[in-house]
């Protein structure tokens, strides 16, 4: 195993084996080209929150752009065996894979869009074999970045506009766990990252100072700060807690004054342990008394939206927040439960037949159809989202939406409202038609999107529940199908 080899390999096999065995099944039963529609969605906002920010689409599109089984991939698949010791895949099937290119259509919500449970983030339409082969990678790429963009937005809300620096690389879940997290954290509102490779690849601003080891490599802290200031006079944020924090602040103040006298400016100091409320207030006093009013106090140490809110309430004098582990791993809930479910299949008569998966839990029963989400807006912002079946769209005069988990919650939507359909075409016949967007455009969209909604959805405790429902016709159809599948339909 060479690290480089992982990263030079075709990623086409980044999938679960069952996608390939099913593909084999579709191919062998002559149904490889049968058209199907799949939806990628999640069932609950992460972190018991009131919203989710979609991210990761660009990775998904790049995956599709490069989708192709390499000779290596096929040689490997050839070695796999079934329980009788015979090859798992027939050679005809492997030849089929060798020539396979994605010809699906994909519609997706743009990255940075605020989304809610049950709304499709991605809709894949095309030969069922291909739809299936894309499932695992789409879920992997979109689940993770959506999770982190949402976590980041929550943390940025907690700081009330103070900049948040993402410092998580060392505790991230692997190389890409770090890189993709830096990208998504920036989308969610972080101001910068410490991850230099993410800075290089994505154009995210990078920030950093020095570590305890810099101070420990000197006989005393003051010499360490002085030397650092001489070497990097335009990047001085001194980490003051290697020995005694307030002594550290006093040493930083001395060097801050020296910097000022030589025409430079100390950016600030950093607190990385201890009682951040107490220490930041004392440090602010020491800095201000010395006339270093512009020096910022940066704090870090296992911070997240909860500790930040608490520090804010305690009057901590922290201007910049360094957040690592708890952001890049989404510590309190490290996975978004995104799923990818079949919505409809085209039958032999070329007609679309909606399909659903049952479950004893209503929340886990999938919604049949070719789904789209329509967001209704008035002059104040978003009013409600309606999930509907494109095969039977809502009529223009009157649109009723029904809460999928409580049919007594209904809402009639005024036809004078503006509306916008969230899924837009991003791949047509396998060709990427979605234009590349810079991260800063996506980051701005996330902010603008959040501004569309009542601020209550951003509350961390018991957030406002934004209305999302099924269009009445879709609701009725789904109910009928469930009863039919449960053989409880006595019509």
Q: Applying CB under 8 A, which part among 202-210, 308-316, 402-410, 447-455 lies near its own copies?
A: 202-210
Given the rule CB under 8 A, which of 26-34, 110-118, 307-315, 392-400 is the region that contacts its own copies?
Answer: 26-34
| Helix (H) or strand (E) run with residue 126 in it | strand 122-127
Rounded Cα gap, residues 464 and 49, in angstroms: 9
Query: Do residues 302 and 311 lie in contact, with contact meaning Cβ atoms separated by under 8 Å?
Result: no
Q: Does 62 bind its own copies (CB under 8 A)?
A: yes
Residues 28-47 that bind its own copies (CB under 8 A): 28-29, 31, 34, 36, 38
If DSSP codes are grouped into helix, strand and coil, which group holds residue 420? Answer: strand
Residue 23 forms beta bridges with which residues? none
User: Under the criterion CB under 8 A, does residue 68 sit at the interface with its own copies?
Assistant: no
Here's the x/- map for its own copies, 116-135, by CB under 8 A: it reads as ------------x---x--x
CB contact set of 417 (below 8 Å; sequence gap of 6+): 376, 377, 378, 383
- Residue 321 contacts its own copies per CB under 8 A: no
Smallest gap from Cβ 219 to its own copies, in A, equals 9
Give the position of tokens 């930041």: 280
Which CB atom, from 244 or from 414, has the smaller least distance to its own copies?
A: 244
Residues between 160 and 199 that touch its own copies (CB under 8 A): 167, 169-181, 194-197, 199
Among 449, 462, 486, 468, residue whose Cα is nearest residue 187: 449
Question: From its phi and psi, is residue 191 left (phi > 0), alpha (psi between -120 and 50) or beta?
Answer: alpha
Least CB distance to its own copies at residue 191 (A): 13
The reply on whether position 58 binds its own copies by CB under 8 A is yes
Minimum distance, C-beta of residue 409 to its own copies, in the bound complex (Å): 26
8-state DSSP, 320: E
Near its own copies in 379-408, by CB under 8 A: none
Count of Cβ atoms closer than 10 Å to residue 380 Cβ: 9
Given 16, 33, 282, 390, the residue binding its own copies (CB under 8 A) = 16
In the complex with its own copies, which residue's Cβ is closer, 295 or 450? 295
**Alpha carbons 45 and 47: distance in angstroms, whole number:** 7
Decide: is 483 part of the binding site for its own copies (CB under 8 A): no
CB–CB of 117/151 below 8 Å?
Answer: no
Residue 346 is a binding residue for its own copies (CB under 8 A): no
**Which window, 116-124, 262-270, 281-289, 466-474, contacts its own copies (CB under 8 A)?**
262-270
């Amino acid at each position: 195993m060479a690290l480089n080899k992982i990263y030079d390999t075709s990623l086409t096999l980044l999938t679960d084996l069952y996608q390939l065995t099913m593909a084999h099944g579709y191919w062998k039963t002559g149904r490889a080209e049968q058209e199907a529609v799949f939806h990628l969605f999640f069932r609950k906002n992460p972190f018991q929150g009131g919203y989710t920010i979609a991210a990761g689409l660009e990775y998904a599109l790049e995956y599709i752009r490069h989708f192709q089984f390499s000779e290596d991939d096929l040689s490997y698949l050839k070695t796999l065996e079934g329980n009788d010791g015979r090859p798992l895949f027939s050679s005809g099937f492997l030849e089929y894979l060798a020539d396979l290119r994605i010809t699906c259509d994909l519609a997706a919500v743009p990255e940075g869009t605020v989304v809610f449970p049950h709304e499709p983030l991605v809709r894949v339409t095309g030969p069922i074999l291909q739809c299936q082969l894309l499932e695992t990678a789409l879920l992997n790429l979109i689940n993770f970045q959506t999770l982190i963009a949402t976590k980041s937005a929550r943390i940025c809300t907690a700081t009330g506009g103070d900049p948040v620096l993402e410092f998580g690389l060392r505790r991230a879940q692997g190389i890409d766990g770090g890189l993709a997290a830096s990208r998504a954290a920036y989308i969610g509102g972080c101001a910068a990252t410490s991850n230099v490779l993410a800075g290089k690849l994505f154009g995210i601003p990078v920030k950093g100072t020095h570590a305890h080891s810099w101070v420990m490599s000197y006989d005393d802290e003051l010499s360490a700060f002085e030397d650092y200031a001489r070497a990097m006079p335009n990047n001085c944020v001194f980490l003051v807690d290697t020995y005694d924090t307030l002594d550290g602040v006093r040493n930083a103040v001395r060097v801050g004054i020296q910097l000022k006298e030589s025409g430079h400016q100390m950016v600030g100091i950093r607190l990385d342990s201890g009682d951040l409320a107490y220490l930041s207030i004392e440090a602010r006093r020491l800095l201000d008394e010395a006339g270093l009013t512009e020096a910022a106090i940066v704090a870090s140490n296992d911070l997240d939206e909860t500790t930040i809110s608490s520090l804010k309430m305690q009057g901590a004098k922290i201007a910049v927040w360094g957040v690592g582990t708890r952001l890049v791993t989404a510590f309190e809930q490290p996975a978004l439960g995104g799923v990818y479910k079949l919505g409809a299949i085209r039958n032999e008569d070329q007609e679309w037949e909606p399909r659903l998966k049952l479950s004893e839990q209503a929340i886990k029963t999938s919604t049949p159809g070719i789904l789209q989400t329509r967001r209704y807006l008035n002059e104040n912002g978003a009013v409600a989202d309606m999930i509907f079946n494109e095969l039977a769209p809502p009529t223009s005069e009157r649109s009723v939406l029904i809460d999928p988990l409580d049919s007594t919650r209904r809402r009639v939507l005024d036809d004078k409202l503006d509306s916008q359909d969230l899924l837009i075409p991003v791949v047509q016949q396998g060709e990427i038609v979605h234009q590349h967007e810079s991260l800063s455009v996506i980051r701005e969209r996330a902010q603008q999107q959040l501004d569309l909604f009542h601020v209550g959805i951003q509350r961390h405790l018991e957030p406002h529940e934004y209305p999302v429902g099924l269009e009445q016709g879709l609701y009725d159809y789904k109910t009928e199908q469930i009863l039919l599948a449960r053989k409880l339909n006595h019509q």
